[in-house]
Structure 1
Amino acid sequence: MEAAGRQRARATITDVAKRSGTSIKTVSRVFNDEPFVRDGTRERVLKAAAELDYHPNMAARSLVRGRSFLIGLFYENPSPNYVVDLQTGALDRLHDERFRLLLFPCESARAMSGKLLQVARTSGLEGIVLAPPLGDDPRTVAELREGRMPFTRIAPTTALDASPMVGIDDVAAAQAMTQHLLSLGHRRIAFVQGDPGHASTGQRLCGFRAALAEAGVAFEPALLEQGMYTFESGLAAGRRLFAGRMRPSAVFAANDDMAAGVCVAAKEHGLDIPGAVSVAGFDDSLISRVTWPQLTTIHQPTYDMAHAATDALIALIDGQAHERAIDLPHRLLVRGSTGLAPQG
């Protein structure tokens, strides 16, 4: 009973060498990705390691090779749903990789401006993934380039040749959502903007206004509300929109968190969704699928963007070929929160 209850001892490199019929040095060469190891030998070592549930000590490997194998994900976004997709995409790309990920939530791009390179070097990072809006800060981009720190960016809108980048067409995506609302007969469509410090805010407003102009519908400044990409700001914007007599028949919020807040405001005012008012969001984050009715939204492939940016960073660090600009598709997802405009 004592033996059965005792925790199984952790496998060592010696155990792997014995199981695979190789030397300790050969096992070390396999896990350090060194050349001139025969394919059959490499397969034997990896098979033995899997059977023994052996995992090499990353700290020891770093000391031997003089490298940290650490990369950093820097982000500033108030939406927890967006951040989860961001982190998961980067972490999944690093599964079974020699690199490990450190997370750096930032108060704001402005507060981090001019300090990011120092943080990266102090942390021993070999490379950086910048999430918006950090990738649009000119001082940050300049210091990383001058410091020769490998970096990639997600959804930048400036200095597009400064680093590998991954993104979608925010203007076209917002235009598609607005066209959907127009096709349902809506003409009084409100728009809830995101954080003015994020470039996506202006791009999505641009797409919204372009779709209205194309349909010959006048833009009404009174139907433009300021949000901050948070649920609370969406709730406040919705309360303001629904308090007046000339309320909108549809509300397009620039992200799902704000759209969920608008939905709560509508219910506070006794408005049926989508019978009395349609509500649409942007991102296709988890909150869009747990609200009721589920949100009509734009699928922004945040997970895939982070995955691709991390992949490009590894290639950049290793001196391998990589794409400079990766454009990923968006999709309009029509769900229960949008319907025909109410009569009258």
Structure 2
Amino acid sequence: MEKPRKSVRRKGRGVTIDEVATLAGVSPMTVSRVMNNQGKVRDTTRERVLQAVRELDYTPNLAASSLAAAQHTRIALVYNNPSGAYLREMLVGLLRVASRTSIQLVIDYWEHTDADAERKAARAMAGKVDGVILPPPVCESHAAVGEFVRAGIPVVAIAAGRSSDEISCVRIDDLRAGKELADYLITRGHTRIGFIKGRPDLSASARRYEGFQTAMFEAGLPIDASLVQQGDYTYRSGLKTGEKILAHKRPPTAIIASNDDMAAAVVSVAHRRGLDVPRDLSVVGFDDSSSATTVWPELTTIHQPIASMANAAIDVLLRTIRRKDRSTRVLVDQVVPHRLVVRGSVGAPGKSG
């Protein structure tokens, strides 16, 4: 009687990348980077992976490489933005493109603000993703950006106020947009205009205020420093700064807020003080987020195409990740068009009582 043959596993055919990763004590993505010679991997880690490959006689499935490249591309969105409306717009754009490109979208919230914590978080994330999208304020973190760059992880900043020599950017021209807002109010006859700044640590905030200053200077109009207040992009800061400006003995006839959340708060303060918008006070915002159309009257604002910018950021990342030559970094500074959206929150100062 013939003895039954033992089942023998054929090396190199049944072995998966997950088994190699388990044996080497790393992630499947790290194994993929070693096998494709992509990204930065420590020499000791690379040797562990190659040793596991030799022990298991692992051979990559080249026939499935194209599909795997798409399915195993992990892109992270790291956020710490106080504006829920802004974040919703960005997620819409990211989820839309993720659903049709087979990428895996990782969303991570960082509540820490010190450099060491951000550096550690970036270092931990670098070993798990292929690319990173950084909206404000995280895009201004030198600690996080530096860590990702050292790890060889492509990064795209969304809505940074300026270009970068370290990472790619998708942004609008904030200075020009800020100037257009002020110019519009000036053409409507406003000469005494208040301004609520965004976060002081963000370049986009500074650029929007510079645009306001430029418009006022070109029009020969003075800027009353007491009508310029520091906000932080939150609705609450809009309430606080709006109260300060409108309590002035000579309040302005118009207020520019650096985002729609703060502008909506100013409208609320005006109503509480018995002022009519826009008859007694004109208010404009920035971003054209959902906050702009959930107040009455709806806000005149700058439309920043946040969802489209998120879409463009993923496109930049995918083209970077899938480049065959990764020995040199190619940075993209994509300035997308914005537009002034005129709604009902602006009137002529002559109508005020």
TM-score normalised according to structure 1 size = 0.77
Aligned with residue 118 of structure 2, among 113, 116, 120: 113
Q: Deviations over 1:114-139 (max 9, x none)?
A: 124323146x2121111123223222
Residue 282 (structure 1) aligned with residue 286 (structure 2): yes
Aligned with residue 130 of structure 1, among 95, 111, 134: 134
Residue identity matched to 1:201: S
Q: Deviations over 1:166-225 (max 9, x none)?
A: 111000000000000111111110001111122211111111111000000011101001
Task: Check conservation: 1:276, 1:342, Cα contact below 8 A.
Answer: no
Greater shift, 182-191 or 87-96, is seen at 87-96
What residue is the counterpart of 2:168 in the other structure? 164
What residue is the counterpart of 2:341 in the other structure? 333
Task: Check conservation: 1:154, 1:309, Cα contact below 8 A.
Answer: yes
Q: Percent identity of the aligned residues?
A: 35
Distance 2:340 2:274 in 1: 28
Residue 139 (structure 1) aligned with residue 172 (structure 2): no
What residue is the counterpart of 1:49 in the other structure? none
Task: Check conservation: 1:136, 1:158, Cα contact below 8 A.
Answer: no
Distance 2:324 2:223 in 1: 48
Residue 80 (structure 1) aligned with residue 84 (structure 2): yes
What residue is the counterpart of 1:99 in the other structure? 103
Task: Check conservation: 2:123, 2:147, Cα contact below 8 A.
Answer: no
Inter-CA distance 318–76: structure 2 relative to 1 (3 Å threshold): same
Cα distance, 1:295 vs. partner? 0.1
Aligned with residue 200 of structure 2, among 196, 201, 213: 196
Cα distance, 1:146 vs. partner? 1.4
Cα distance, 1:288 vs. partner? 0.2
What residue is the counterpart of 2:180 in the other structure? 176
Residue identity matched to 1:84: R
Q: Deviations over 1:60-108 (max 9, x none)?
A: x6xxx8x843210012210001111111111111123221111112225
What's the secondary structure of 2:350's corresponding residue?
coil
Inter-CA distance 288–319: structure 2 relative to 1 (3 Å threshold): same
* RMSD between aligned residues: 2.4
Cα distance, 1:110 vs. partner? 3.7
What's the secondary structure of 2:302's corresponding residue?
strand
Distance 2:85 2:158 in 1: 16
Residue 230 (structure 1) aligned with residue 234 (structure 2): yes
Residue ranges of structure 1 left out of the alignment (5+ in a row): 1-27, 35-60
Distance 1:31 1:278 in 2: 59
Residue 249 (structure 1) aligned with residue 257 (structure 2): no
Task: Check conservation: 2:161, 2:174, Cα contact below 8 A.
Answer: no
Residue 33 (structure 1) aligned with residue 37 (structure 2): no
Distance 1:154 1:333 in 2: 21
Distance 2:286 2:201 in 1: 17
- Structure 1 stretches of 4+ with a deviation exceeding 6 A read 28-31, 320-323
Residue 221 (structure 1) aligned with residue 225 (structure 2): yes
What's the secondary structure of 1:81's corresponding residue?
helix
Residue identity matched to 1:73: L
What residue is the counterpart of 2:209 in the other structure? 205
What residue is the counterpart of 2:273 in the other structure? 269
Residue identity matched to 1:87: L
The size of the alignment, in residue pairs, is 287
Residue identity matched to 1:331: R
